[in-house]
Amino acid sequence: MPSLLRNTLTYVWLALVAATLLSWWAATSNGTGSASHISVSVTAGVLVMSFIKVRLVIMHFMEVRFAPLWLRLNCDAWLIVVLGMVFGFYWTGL
Amino acid sequence: MTSSRKEHVSGERAMWLFVIGELWIFACYFACYAYDRGQEHALFLSSQQQLSQGFGVTNTIVLLTSSLLVALSVQAMREGNVAAASKLLALGGACGVGFIAVKSVEWYLKLKAGVTISANGFFMYYYMLTGLHVLHVLLGLGIIVYLWRTLQRSEQPQTVSLETGATYWHMVDLLWIVIFALLYLVR
């Protein structure tokens, strides 16, 4: 069994869990006052955190960092389009 | 784990085409959700308050852990350690079962409180997105069980098959990361 402490994947997982807890803290009343109000900064922060998390999964767990350019571009395009579109619709509806 | 490693696609290319297709289909669902949320911010926000954040966070960590275990299983397989790969794969699958168990409790409590799919627009998306995602988790678990049984029988390295299954499983994980953000966290 590979040594967990010398494994990059372990640190990627720690970063993913930390980002999850940070997003949760920011989005709930513990972090930023009442959770029942619209907050553009919380929404933007949560989406940026999600971008980072999904990219970590794609690059390290799915090993796309070793993949050919077409696959790397496809993955990055998906991420940018999805999160950009979500924020765009959210913003225009305010 | 060096950056100078040769260019490589993990698993079968056909699985990648399937995964990319799935990702774009979900992108359409996410766009519809975001658009409708933009039309009814107040309703979506007040409905979101009825969700149990704890279930969402727990399931996110469970699925991230599952992904880690499956990625470690692929590493162990490449090192020729079939027994460790098999064990890690089983643990990853067990986390997937845990995810479904937590989700079932969450749904049960919501339905028991009278919050159904027809409650409002937000809950329509809540049940649809989480339901579709659970179907993907179930398919992923089917793949994991199949791979695990193959390893038990042959005890020969099955690196490409395992990489292919892992690619699907990580997709299930990354879709949940987005669903979790959209349903539970966005304000």
Judge whether A16 is closer than 8 Å to chain B, CB to CB.
Answer: yes
For residue A61, tell me if it sits in a domain.
Answer: yes
Domain that holds residue A71: 2-25+41-92
Measured between alpha carbons, how far is B50 from A69 in angstroms, rounded to an integer? 43
Cβ-nearest to B181 among A47, A68, A81: A47
Q: Are the beta carbons of B37 and A16 separated by less than 8 Å?
A: no
Record the pTM: 0.94
Tens digits of residue pLDDT in B45-86: 999 999 989 999 999 999 999 999 999 999 999 999 999 999
Retrieve residue B89's tokens: 């794969």
Chain A residues with beta carbon closer than 8 angstroms to that of B75: 2, 7, 9
Q: What is the ipTM of this complex?
A: 0.93
Chain A residues with beta carbon closer than 8 angstroms to that of B88: 1
For residue A58, tell me if it sits in a domain.
Answer: yes
Judge whether A44 is closer than 8 Å to chain B, CB to CB.
Answer: no
Low-confidence ranges of chain A (pLDDT < 70): 1-2, 29-35
Using the predicted structure, report yes or no on whether residue B2 has a pLDDT greater than 50.
no
For residue A86, tell me if it sits in a domain.
Answer: yes
A77: CB partners within 8 A, 6+ apart: none
User: Any idea where the domains of chain B sit in the sequence?
Assistant: 41-185
Using the predicted structure, report yes or no on whether residue B3 has a pLDDT greater than 70.
no
The count of structural domains within chain A is 1
Domain B41-185, CATH class in plain words? mainly alpha
For residue A30, tell me if it sits in a domain.
Answer: no
Question: Within 13 Å and on the Cβ side, how many CA atoms surround B22?
Answer: 19
Instruction: Determine the pLDDT at residue A93.
Output: 85
Tens digits of residue pLDDT in B104-148: 999 999 999 999 999 999 999 999 999 999 999 999 999 999 999
For residue A85, tell me if it sits in a domain.
Answer: yes
CB contacts < 8 A, A to B, total 152
For residue A48, tell me if it sits in a domain.
Answer: yes
HEC letters along B90-109: HHHHHHHHHHHHHHHHHHHH
